[in-house]
Amino acid sequence: MLNSLKQQLKRILQRLQRNRAAEKLKQQANHISAEQLQHDLQQLGVQQGDTLFLHSSLKSLGYVVGGPATVIKVLQQLVGEQGNILLPAYYLPGGTIEATCQLTDYQFDPRIHGTHMGRLPETFLQLPGVKRSLHPTHSVAVWGAQADYLTNGHHQAPSVFGEGSPWQRFTALPQAKVLGLGISMGPVTFYHLLEDQLGEAFPLNVWHQEYRLPCIDQDNQIWQVPVKSYKPELTQQRIDHPSRADLREFFRQSLQQAGLLQQAQVGDSQSWLLPAAGFLTHLQWLAERGITIYTPEAELAQKAANLP
């Protein structure tokens, strides 16, 4: 009783804080309309029939009139009924993968658990027709023609990014693209696909521990789903760590030189788009030359100098 009251109070406070922050942004930032977003995303290269895996920062776009729902609606119209939109709907009640895996009373339930991946994923999860994969740490939300195919079976995949996971299925689709709206080259889950794909052939062992976490499906069946945590020392030097601007810039330039990275301003933000299959091939090409999202700064400078 007391707990539920506390939860309710927490939600009300959060809503108030969010309204205040949005109001401040409305007064201070440029107003970005649906029409402008549509124009900018087309300039970036988003097309009818695309399947987009989106990572986003709403605030970077400026003040979007209509909020996160506007961004999603514009993307839905641009990719059309033949396309798909995937968003990370990861839920990490421990704060990190490792801490989540160590929780003793956690069971993922897509009907009650939200996401910690930002305002766009939160809003997306509430929309009609959006499907969600059953996964204790890396649930993926999908809208579009292949939403069922992309989300089904994640809990039965041998690993987060393994055969049958949304990432494997996404990458094999024609017009599959990774879209970074207002984010750097850092928080991009797609990099990890290569680790699962190459296994021991990946230049380093990134795994710390392997766990099985329970998930409950729509029929109340419990599944024990495999999750591997990353070595903590490696997450400190990874491309998404604040200290690794050098690695983010290296990957940005390398993907650009390979003719893969498209960049444009969307609203007030610098945004980017990458064809998934080419992205993966390029990551593998770099890995074969010893460069990964974990390569330390001095080593990166040396290896980058030796690239053809």
Footprint of ligand COA on this chain (CB under 6 A)? 21-22, 25, 55-61, 63-64, 67, 88, 117-120, 183, 187, 189
Render 37-82 in DSSP notation, one character per residue.
Answer: HHHHHHHHT--TT-EEEEEE-TGGG-EETTTHHHHHHHHHHHH-TT
284: tokens are 């593998």
Question: What CA–CA distance (Å, rounded) separates 62 from 190?
Answer: 26
Q: Where are the beta strands (DSSP E) in the chain?
A: 31-32, 51-56, 63-64, 84-88, 131-132, 140-144, 176-181, 207-216, 222-230, 262-266, 269-275
Q: Which is nearer to ligand COA, 61 or 79 (CB)?
A: 61
- The angle at the Cα of 162, spanning 144 to 157, to the nearest 5 degrees, equals 80
Give min distance, CB of 59 to ligand COA, in A. 3
Closest CA to 150 of 162, 158, 159, 140: 140
Give min distance, CB of 135 to ligand COA, in A. 14
Q: Which is nearer to ligand COA, 24 or 212 (CB)?
A: 24
Q: Pairing between strand 51-56 and 84-88?
A: parallel
Q: Which is nearer to ligand COA, 56 or 262 (CB)?
A: 56
Q: Which is nearer to ligand COA, 153 or 187 (CB)?
A: 187
Question: 222 CB contacts (<8 Å, ≥6 apart)?
Answer: 107, 214, 215, 216
Check if the beta carbon of residue 196 is closer than 8 Å to that of residue 162.
yes
Give min distance, CB of 160 to ligand COA, in A. 11
Q: Which is nearer to ligand COA, 189 or 292 (CB)?
A: 189
Give min distance, CB of 11 to ligand COA, in A. 16
Q: Which is nearer to ligand COA, 1 or 271 (CB)?
A: 271
Q: Pairing between strand 51-56 and 176-181?
A: parallel
Q: What is the 3-state secondary structure (H, E, C) of 78-123?
A: HHCCCCEEEEECCCCCCCCHHHHHCCCCCCECCCCCCCCCCHHHHH
Give min distance, CB of 107 to ligand COA, in A. 22
Q: Which is nearer to ligand COA, 67 or 162 (CB)?
A: 67
DSSP category for residue 146: T
Q: How far is CA 253 from CA 123, 135, 213, in A?
A: 32, 33, 38
Q: Which is nearer to ligand COA, 24 or 48 (CB)?
A: 24
Give min distance, CB of 21 to ligand COA, in A. 3
130: tokens are 């959006």
Give min distance, CB of 66 to ligand COA, in A. 7
DSSP category for residue 27: H
Give min distance, CB of 1 to ligand COA, in A. 31
Give min distance, CB of 186 to ligand COA, in A. 7
Question: What CA–CA distance (Å, rounded) separates 203 from 107?
Answer: 33
